[in-house]
Structure 1
Amino acid sequence: MNSDVDPGEIPPPSTTAESSSPSSILIPGLPNEVSRTILSMIPYAHHARLKSTSKSWKSALSSKSFLNNLINHNRNNLICIFPQDPSIPKPYLFDVNAVAWCPLPPMPCNPHVYGLCNFAAVPLGFHIYIIGGSHFDTRSFPINRPSSSSSMFRFNLRDFSWENRASMISARGSFAYAVIRSSGDNSGNIVVAGGGSRHMLFGAAGSRIRLVERYDVVADRWEELEPLPGFRAGCVGFLEREEREFRVVGGHSRSRTVSGVFPVDEYCRDAVVMGLEDGEWRQGGDMWGDLENVRAGKMVVGDDCGSPLVFMIDVNEIFR
């Protein structure tokens, strides 16, 4: 999670009125600007407990300038983990440097759906967006057939609250996505591509789509873009060439049956690339050489100082 504040910046000093008011004093005997610097050294995973100390601490720890400084500081690297359906068990934040865990409140629950998986957890500014996924709906028939979700929820790191945001135009799970950041702390766009309805309980089958959408964070609005050249689900996406291109790699395009019974996926060997300026798709070349077998492991995209790193985990092997 990034913002535009200098990592070395100290939160703004308190005003004279602040310092003179007993209810606004953070630590007795110390100026508030010094107290804020001390509080910023405490790992984020412990902030939920600190906020209950006093109103002044809660106000300081929830302020935009304080969180800006905290997120930018090198000692605060946070990982958000969703063990299962985030509306049932609590998600967790893990502070890598402090080796500390912090439980988060569950996502708002819909009584008609359960078993959400294959959703995207997208960090942007002070928020984490939970987009799409695959779940079971008690109102559908047959009841044991998974369906894709179009819903989106946003978690606010400032006050630990969830809110519902605009749903995607087309429901999907297991899709590629990327964040296009802008100059604002919480502004930008999220691009999603492909996806389908496959659930973790089933090793194959499920629907596939080729539709592409872009979400405007500030306007809370989705718009359709040019679709993928072909159907693709289970893929990953990332930005490259100074965020001028959106590359989608991996995934499966269709399935066939063995002996007319067992569904088997046909995995994509190639990548496709969309230019963000003109919105046109083009072929991006094969991922595997002519003599290599196509691997079908889980793909993960990381970030190395702005350069994407793509890894695939296939049983006990890791490819890069």
Structure 2
Amino acid sequence: MSISTSPAPSADLIPSLPNDISLNILARIPRCHHRTLSLVSKAFRSILTSPIFFTTRSLLHTTQHFLYLSLRFPTSPSIHHFYTLRQGPISPKHSLALVPPPPPPPRIGSAFVSLGPHLFVLGGSFNDVSSPHVWTLDCRFHTWEPLPNMRVAREFAAAAAIGNKIYVVGGCVVDTWARSKNWAEVFDTVTEVWDSVPSPVDVKEKWMHASAVIGGKIYAMADRGGVKYEPESGEWDCVESELDMGWRGRGCVIDGVLYCYDYLGNIRGFDVNEGVWKVLRGVEKGLPRFLCGATMVNLGGKLLVVWEGKGGGGGGKEMEIWCAMIETEKGRDDGELWGKIQWVDVVLNVPNGSSIVHCSTVMF
């Protein structure tokens, strides 16, 4: 595959090879080796952080999934501290690396959405004043850019991405015509334009706490009675009662199954086709009995669970952030959900009283 129409590097990447072939070779190497590759030459270092390199990886289908985690520290509860999960090419040790924070002012109750290599942070409040502002983190270069404001200021809204569009629902009081009309909005990431999404009156009094995309529909968990929305038809409906009673937020979807963590210390999955919750079996011995602050994400088809552990040193002034990678499958005969833990590790020590705000998966 050649992308000769794109600008070529100014220096030879690999002597005796055309640069487009060299670029195709480098683009196939996993990201965990890129830090070592950047030490080879200035040309390597330059190409590994260039747009043409990421375009080549996308064309070759060699993109990978990466975890981005937002934490809140007790000394600065309104500031989001962003980290990404990394692993060395040889050492099995996993760790979180700090990435640049979003521009001020800090906000509480922002909504998060990932789409391709971008992480979007929508709304939130500062000094009890809701914001319509939207920022996006380009995870390839770790740079923040502002996007057009939402039509309505929001905090603690639900948000999800389908195709090239981002949907945001709730998080505002519908005490004006504008807030009522724009209680739900959609952002086209290509045209960068916000449009209102028509919604029935009876859903606009709900406050959303979590969201997920299942089968092309947006499911949003509310304070009382979750809702679902199908963008293709524009139809709103109530979520199944069984799902509504068991969904506790901070979940993710893998192969059409919504996974979340319940108050009894179980990871459970809900298959909308069957309409029942099932406990994820096979992981009981590999995980602690209770996972404080547990949240989870689909990381390349596998279930990555993140939770807050107890003190990990620092004279009792620190706590640990733990991660576990779990491969899930559905039993062919009994339909039960099974998990196989691939690794469990402490990835970061943080001050006591810290909390996990959100985790997302990006792909580049």
TM normalised by structure 2 equals: 0.56
Q: For 1:123 and 1:46, locate their aligned partners in 2 and report how far apart those are by CA, in whole Å.
A: 23
Write out aligned runs for 1:277-296 (5 A). Answer: 277-287=232-242, 294=245
Corresponding position of 1:92: 83
Q: For 1:27 and 1:222, locate their aligned partners in 2 and report how far apart those are by CA, in whole Å.
A: 45
Q: For 1:168 and 1:51, locate their aligned partners in 2 and report how far apart those are by CA, in whole Å.
A: 43
Corresponding position of 1:239: 213
Q: For 1:48 and 1:279, locate their aligned partners in 2 and report how far apart those are by CA, in whole Å.
A: 49
From 6, 12, 20, the equivalent of 1:25 is 12
Corresponding position of 1:122: 113
Corresponding position of 2:62: 73
SS of equivalent to 2:13: coil
Q: For 2:119 and 2:39, locate their aligned partners in 1 and report how far apart those are by CA, in whole Å.
A: 21
Corresponding position of 1:140: none
Query: What percentage of aligned pairs have identical amino acids?
Result: 22
Cα deviation, residue 68, structure 1: 1.4
Q: For 1:195 and 1:52, locate their aligned partners in 2 and report how far apart those are by CA, in whole Å.
A: 49
SS of equivalent to 2:56: helix
Task: Answer whether contact 1:271 1:287 (CA < 8 A) is retained.
Answer: no
Structure with more contact order per residue of length (Cα contacts < 8 Å, sep ≥ 6): 2
Instruction: Work out whether 1:155 is the aligned partner of 2:137.
Output: yes
Give the gaps of 5 or more residues in structure 1.
1-9, 138-145, 182-187, 198-207, 253-267
Runs of at least 4 residues off by over 4 Å: 44-49, 85-90
Q: 1:285 to 1:117 in 2, by over 3 A?
A: same
Deviations 1:26-78 (A, max 9, x none): 234555324642464242685599399525642354224234158x437x330
Q: For 2:260 and 2:47, locate their aligned partners in 1 and report how far apart those are by CA, in whole Å.
A: 41
Write out aligned runs for 1:201-240 (5 A). Answer: 211-227=183-199, 229-230=202-203, 231-240=205-214
Task: Answer whether contact 1:92 1:101 (CA < 8 A) is retained.
Answer: yes
Instruction: Work out whether 1:309 is the aligned partner of 2:258.
Output: yes
Deviates more, 1:147-156 or 1:81-90: 81-90
1:299 corresponds to which letter in structure 2?
A: R
Q: 1:87 to 1:25 in 2, by over 3 A?
A: farther
Q: For 1:196 and 1:287, locate their aligned partners in 2 and report how far apart those are by CA, in whole Å.
A: 27
Corresponding position of 2:149: 167
SS of equivalent to 1:93: strand
Corresponding position of 1:43: 31
Q: For 2:155 and 2:117, locate their aligned partners in 1 and report how far apart those are by CA, in whole Å.
A: 24
Select the structure that is richer in strand.
2
TM normalised by structure 1 equals: 0.63
Task: Answer whether contact 1:296 1:314 (CA < 8 A) is retained.
Answer: no
Q: 1:126 to 1:285 in 2, by over 3 A?
A: closer
Give the gaps of 5 or more residues in structure 2.
174-178, 270-364
Instruction: Work out whether 1:104 is the aligned partner of 2:99.
Output: yes
Corresponding position of 1:191: 167
- Superposition RMSD in Å: 3.8
Task: Answer whether contact 1:80 1:94 (CA < 8 A) is retained.
Answer: yes
Q: 1:41 to 1:107 in 2, by over 3 A?
A: same
From 42, 50, 59, the equivalent of 1:54 is 42
Q: For 2:77 and 2:194, locate their aligned partners in 1 and report how far apart those are by CA, in whole Å.
A: 23
Task: Answer whether contact 1:51 1:61 (CA < 8 A) is retained.
Answer: no
Task: Answer whether contact 1:155 1:161 (CA < 8 A) is retained.
Answer: yes
Q: 1:57 to 1:66 in 2, by over 3 A?
A: farther
